[in-house]
Amino acid sequence: MGPTLSPSGTNLKYEVKLLLDPSKVLNSHYELDLAIKELFRVNTVEKRMDVQYLDTDDRGILQQDWSVRVRKMDGDTDLELTYKKRYKIIDGDSEAALELARNDVRKL
């Protein structure tokens, strides 16, 4: 993760999502392969969570590159509401996507 996003847009929190081929990253028990766990420093403590995504029937929120979810971790009494805006990286130019995100935050 990157730094936390502030209203001024100076510190931007971001995630990178990897779409991995399950046949290359899972072992015979459908668990992450040890080499992948080590490479990405995956925490091996498992925690159950219930997740619900919110959207319109026609997926209007997702079509605008937004994602809204409610999550409850096993053992917690509180619900967590998360909303994310996705920015496409075009021609490998991640800085342009980050700058667009900073500009959007400045408008808030």
> Residue range 11-30: average pLDDT?
84
Contacting residues for 17 by C-beta, under 8 A, at least 6 apart: none
Query: How far apart are the C-alpha atoms of 53 and 68, rounded to whole Å?
Result: 6
Residue-wise pLDDT for 77-97, tens only, equals: 999 998 888 888 899 998 999
H or E element in which residue 61 lies: helix 60-63
> Residue range 43-57: average pLDDT?
90
Two tokens, residue 68: 């809204």
- pTM comes to 0.57
Neighbours of 10 (CB within 10 A): 11
Say which range, 2-6, 22-26, 38-42, has the weakest mean pLDDT.
Answer: 2-6
